Amino acid sequence: MTDKKITVEQTGSAIGRPERQSRTLLGLGLTRIGRRRTLEDTPAVRGMIAKVAHLVKIVDEK
């Protein structure tokens, strides 16, 4: 496993978005605007962030 971490913050609402995007946010552990999560920096997580890039921002990479 990798020891690299990435912190993402939700900046946009899932209301009115396609169900696929809402579920991607849930998969990242983001449920409301302003919520932050620190996740392992894996290709799968990076792909999920890319799918909802307009709703999240990367706060910190370590």
Split into its structural domains, the chain has a count of 1
Q: Domain range spanning residue 17?
A: 5-61
* pLDDT bucket at 2, cuts 50 / 70 / 90: low
The pTM assigned to this predicted structure is 0.89
3 state SS of 48: helix
Q: What angle do CA 24, 29, 6 make, to 5 degrees?
A: 95
CATH code, 48? 3.30.1390.20
Q: Quick one: pLDDT at residue 60? A: 85
Mean of per-residue pLDDT scores for the chain: 94
Q: 2 Cβ partners below 8 Å, 6+ apart?
A: 40, 41, 42
- Over residues 6-32, the pLDDT tens digits come to 999 999 999 999 999 999 999 999 999
